[in-house]
Amino acid sequence: MARADRRRAQRAKPAPVTRRSDVVVEDTMFFPRLRRHAKWVFVFLALVFGLGFVGFGVGAGGVGFGDILKGGGGSGVPSISSAQKRIDENPKDAQAFRDLATAYEAKGDTASAITALESLTQLRPRNVDALRELSGLYLRQASDAQQRAQDAQLRADYLAPGAAVLGSLTLKRQPLAVDPINAAVSAQVSQATNQAVSEEQSAAQSAVSTYKKIAAAAANKGDKAQAELNLGQIAQQIGDTTTAIAAYKKFLKLAPTDPTAPDVKRLLKQLGAG
């Protein structure tokens, strides 16, 4: 009897206790700390809009990386030459521009893909899928330009580490001389950095303009509300406060009971429009 009791005691081991980690509730908005995390925000947006609409071929029959991974081996991607030939024969062939953009995307030529999509959206101004894809490409372009600016600055710090410091110091109200090599490196890097920053700002502003078109072309109230929310987030990221405030207010008017409405109201207060 005692032996049976001991066996039952051995079998009746306590069940392990599963510890549940505390859920950290974070702000659901994309850009709560915009300027400090601009690089990662641009990368995130490029992934969201670029990969979502470009990589997997969403919109107007495009062929994306998802199709290739499914076994197409790239054979289903239109060729640049065939798409361009169709455009030459019929400049109003919207599908040809769609195929041309897809072909350039597969090649990694973002700038040419943007040009093709711009032509497509001129022919089909209410094609929301094409507009979203175009916005994603603009954001990718902005992210790439920002990376180039940062790389240029890193090269300057490595090749001419003292140029910036010496240039900012004065002796008897005269700036300290910088040696010619450092001066030349600094000038070259400054030019490259300024050009990259200009390209970044231009691409980001183009993304905002495109999302304004998306909001205008949205087919229903829900899609329009989402478009206004995305427009506000992108505009806030690039420092276009006026556009961000207007978009957030439109979102609240369209979707006052949306779960993100309280977060949008807090953002409006931070922007001085609460």
Confirm whether 250 is domain-assigned.
yes
Mean pLDDT across 57-68: 40
Residues near 269 by Cβ (< 8 Å), separated by ≥ 6?
none
To the question of pTM greater than 0.85 for the whole model, the response is: no
39-54 residue pLDDT tens: 444 444 444 444 444 4
Q: What are phi and psi of 175, to 5 degrees?
A: -65, 140
> 124: which 2 tokens?
């089909």
Instruction: Give me the chain's average pLDDT, please.
Output: 75
- Tell me what pLDDT residue 158 has: 66
Confirm whether 118 is domain-assigned.
no
Lowest mean pLDDT across 5-9, 82-86, 144-148, 260-264:
5-9
Confirm whether 4 is domain-assigned.
no
In angstroms, the CA 36 to CA 94 distance is 40
Lowest mean pLDDT across 50-54, 114-118, 130-134, 174-178:
50-54
CA angle 6, 9, 12 (to 5 degrees): 155
In angstroms, the CA 119 to CA 90 distance is 13
Number of domains the chain contains: 1
Confirm whether 112 is domain-assigned.
no
Confirm whether 167 is domain-assigned.
no
Mean pLDDT across 213-219: 92
Please, are residues 119 and 101 in contact by the beta-carbon 8 Å criterion?
A: no
Mean pLDDT across 104-128: 96
Domain that holds residue 263: 219-274
Confirm whether 242 is domain-assigned.
yes
pLDDT band at 14 (very low <50, low <70, confident <90, very high): very low
Confirm whether 259 is domain-assigned.
yes
- Tell me what pLDDT residue 236 has: 92
Residue that the structure tokens 């521009």 belong to:
97
